[in-house]
Chains A and B, each alone.
Chain A
Amino acid sequence: MEMMKTSVALQESSLAPSNGTHGNSFSSPSMATNDMHAAVPAYNQHSQSSAFISQSSKDLAYLPPISSSYLGQSTAFISQENKDVSWSLDRLQDFLDLHENVPDPNGLVESSNGIMLSEEHRKKTDLLEWADQLISVNDPLDLDWSEFVNNDNVSDPKLKVLKPSVDISKQQPQFHQNQPDPHGEFSSDVNPLSTTQTKPRMRWTPELHEAFVEAVNQLGGSERATPKGVLNLMKVEGLTIYHVKSHLQKYRTARYKPESSEGTSENKVTSIEEMKSFDLKTSIGITEALRLQMEVQKQLHEQLEIQRNLQLRIEEQGRQLQMMFEKQKTMDEEKSGAPSSALHDPPASLPGSTRPSCMNDKSEALEQVHTRTGIDTRNASTTEEEGSQDVSGKQKASETETTAHLHTNDDDESRSPLTKRSRTEK
């Protein structure tokens, strides 16, 4: 389990680069390679770097050689380690996940969420079936590894890689947590800003766990139940055998070694045996200790809830403010397109109506504030304001009014452009 985690961590760190990074598509593979080298020395390093760097389009026809080259590497582990086939397949899956990344020529930070070609889907299912077949072999040693071992693909720098990953979780529809059916919830809503290819990250719910326990019991208990059996019984769409396997492992640990799954070693400082040896005086202390512990925990929980709600509200306000500001901006832009004949009287309290020259400056300033390229945009806008004070004064007055409505405290030091201008005016 540990190794899996490490490999996952590695995969995650090397996966993130993907789309949206202009020139980074090559720095990341080398980063990834280094990571891989560090943690997985037994692997053939050469083939890995080539596998990472090649991001050409993939052809499913290459499936056998690719898989065999991967497996060729992983057999080294299998023969050394336990007979856990699925572990090597996890590695395989991780490799496959990697190569879904194709540098986005537009450099847009866009996620491929929900955009799934039917062809990709078919490829995915094929791959899943193939992976599944390997798992269904109960005794891994029966598998004929010899045909995989001597494989020369590793030296091929142009190793073609599969594009579609088995990361179906990304494309799965989001299930709600409070449905009575034991539907799993996937983290496909993760990070639209990034296209980190996570392995099938499963978010368990109590209902799903209930279904799991049901299935396990039907199969004769946690020791006798197999991942595949449980998976089939549960009949939950999108649930993979990897999810079930890891969950089953946790489940077994929790049942048969409750001490190890409860807290950490630090926590076992006061074992019950120690507590029992105290006399009555201190045994009252134990109750008291637990009571205090509970008190403190309850408080922390309560404060965290409050804090979280506050944070949500604050961001919501900020978001609305931003929206208003954007609306304002579009209004201003529209007005600035109007001919100067429309604007005669400078001292108007409407946001858009100023002297033409100042108007242009203002909209320009707004524009600058919104682009991400300027550094001193705020400085620029403020200096321009100082040049057109009386008019801007009116505008700011109306703006500050708006902000005052939204914010509960009168602190004017908001980062948002609106109130920032009013501050400099003061």
Chain B
Amino acid sequence: MKFGKRLKQQIEETLPAWRDKFLSYKELKKLVRLISSAPPLPTESMEYGKAEAEFVYLLNNEIEKFNAFFMEQEEDFIIRHKELQQRIRRVIDTHAPNGTKSSEAQYKDQMAKTKKAIIDFHGEMVLLENYSNINYTGLGKILKKYDKRTGGLLRLPFIQKVLQQPFFTTDLVSKLVKECENTIDEVFPVEEEEKTKERRRDEAITVAGKGIFRNTVAALLTMQEIRRGSSTYDHFSLPPLNLPDSDLIHSFQLNSPIPIL
């Protein structure tokens, strides 16, 4: 039940448009229970075959859902990525040393807006990566449950197919994320002024607000939680996650209605 709860938390914290795009973990679990509670005898292999086919059918539906959503988002990201690059170029160019096309204040304002835009964009892409991964994890878990309860051998071959699905092949998004990070480092170099970190943190948290930041924090913590050792830990489980700033990140959970752990 642990993963199910985590997943539910993630979904609640996620961007609204994404809420119904996640794995229907609970429903699938119910189905597995249903299938296994009426154990077909070896003679009734026909029944069993049908139930398994039904299960596979639903899983494929889910995968299709992921693929559709993922590729849609990916397409958006490709477009926005290019647009942002161009936008930055424009802002920098219009503030060229020779032409005072824009005043200092205007420049600062535009830069600030662009900076926020690009950081948010980065965040959204990372959240899509997280979306991909958490659905994959969920699929793996439900398949494991299925095999365990019905004695089937569905998991291994099925997961092999999943690994090749568009929603799991996140290389492009990953590349865009890195390009974003590079752009940010180039265009918005980090100030040396880091001493006031502690004092400013509370204000910073208030300002950062909801949405992407909160989502990201939630995602990190959820990941950590999911990977904690459990009774069903096996060869196919991921090792525990050690977040470098775990305490700091935990403290970011401001006024969260559903605190993770």
Listed by A's residue number, 5 A-B pairs whose Cβ atoms lie within 8 Å are A294-B184, A308-B133, A318-B235, A372-B48, A372-B153
Q: Which of A299, A373, A377 contacts B45 (CB 8 A)?
A: A373
B147 touches A415 (CB 8 A): yes
B130 touches A255 (CB 8 A): no
The digit string for B106-123, where 1 denotes a CB below 8 A from any CB of A, is 000100110111011111
What are the residues of chain B within 8 A of A319 when measuring CB–CB? 156, 160
The digit string for A18-40, where 1 denotes a CB below 8 A from any CB of B, is 00111110000000000000000
**Assuming the A-B contacts A194-B60, A213-B82, A261-B76, are A289 and B207 also in contact, with contact meaning beta carbons closer than 8 angstroms in the complex?**
yes
B158 in contact (CB, < 8 A): yes
The digit string for A319-342, where 1 denotes a CB below 8 A from any CB of B, is 100100000000000000000000
A415 touches B216 (CB 8 A): no
Query: Which of A90-98, A113-121, A125-133, A279-287 participates in binding chain B?
Result: A279-287
Cα(A267)–Cα(B41), bound, Å: 54
B1 in contact (CB, < 8 A): no
Q: Which of A20, A263, A278 contacts B120 (CB 8 A)?
A: A263
B residues adjacent to A (C-beta < 8 A) = 15-17, 39-42, 45-46, 48-50, 52-54, 56-57, 60-61, 63-65, 67-68, 71, 74-76, 78-83, 87, 109, 112-113, 115-117, 119-124, 126-127, 129-130, 133, 136-137, 140, 144, 147-148, 150-161, 163-166, 170-172, 174, 177, 181, 184, 190-191, 196-197, 200-201, 203-213, 216-217, 219-220, 223, 233-236, 238-239, 241, 243-245, 249, 252
A218 in contact (CB, < 8 A): no
Sorting the interface of chain A by its residue count into under 10, 10 to 19, 20 to 34 or 35 or more gives 35 or more
A107 in contact (CB, < 8 A): yes
**A94 → chain B closest CB, angstroms:** 13
Q: Which of A192, A308, A413 contacts B235 (CB 8 A)?
A: A413
B123 touches A22 (CB 8 A): no
**Assuming the A-B contacts A203-B71, A297-B119, A319-B160, are A264 and B15 also in contact, with contact meaning beta carbons closer than 8 angstroms in the complex?**
yes
What are the residues of chain B within 8 A of A261 when measuring CB–CB? 76, 80
A residues adjacent to B (C-beta < 8 A) = 8-9, 12-13, 16-17, 20-24, 107, 109, 177, 187, 189-194, 196, 198, 201-206, 209-210, 213, 247, 250-251, 254-255, 258, 261-270, 272, 275-276, 278, 281-282, 284-301, 303-305, 307-308, 310-312, 314-315, 317-319, 322, 370, 372-378, 407, 409, 411, 413-416, 419
What are the residues of chain A within 8 A of B137 when measuring CB–CB? 311
Cα(A318)–Cα(B143), bound, Å: 14
B209 touches A291 (CB 8 A): no
Cα(A258)–Cα(B127), bound, Å: 19
Cα(A95)–Cα(B93), bound, Å: 50
B249 touches A296 (CB 8 A): yes
Closest chain B residue to A209, Cβ basis: B78
**Assuming the A-B contacts A209-B78, A375-B39, A378-B151, are A411 and B197 also in contact, with contact meaning beta carbons closer than 8 angstroms in the complex?**
no
What are the residues of chain B within 8 A of A416 when measuring CB–CB? 235
Q: Is the interface of A mostly helix, strand, loop or mixed?
A: helix
A267 touches B153 (CB 8 A): no
Cα(A193)–Cα(B190), bound, Å: 49
Cα(A413)–Cα(B120), bound, Å: 42
Q: Is the interface of B mostly helix, strand, loop or mixed?
A: helix
What are the residues of chain B within 8 A of A20 when measuring CB–CB? 53, 56
Cα(A13)–Cα(B64), bound, Å: 9
A187 touches B71 (CB 8 A): yes
Q: Which of B64, B87, B223 contacts A198 (CB 8 A)?
A: B64
Q: Which of A23, A317, A373, A411 contacts B42 (CB 8 A)?
A: A373
What are the residues of chain A within 8 A of B211 when measuring CB–CB? 263-264, 266-269
What are the residues of chain A within 8 A of B223 when measuring CB–CB? 300, 303-304, 307
A275 touches B207 (CB 8 A): yes
**Assuming the A-B contacts A22-B50, A187-B166, A193-B161, are A372 and B133 also in contact, with contact meaning beta carbons closer than 8 angstroms in the complex?**
no
What are the residues of chain A within 8 A of B71 when measuring CB–CB? 187, 201-204
B156 touches A318 (CB 8 A): yes
**B139 → chain A closest CB, angstroms:** 11
A373-B49, A375-B41 given; 7 more Cβ-contact pairs under 8 Å: A23-B50, A107-B53, A177-B171, A262-B117, A265-B16, A267-B120, A299-B244
Cα(A375)–Cα(B147), bound, Å: 10
Q: Which of B136, B150, B238 contacts A375 (CB 8 A)?
A: B150
Cα(A305)–Cα(B147), bound, Å: 28
Q: Which of A194, A198, A374, A407 contacts B56 (CB 8 A)?
A: A194
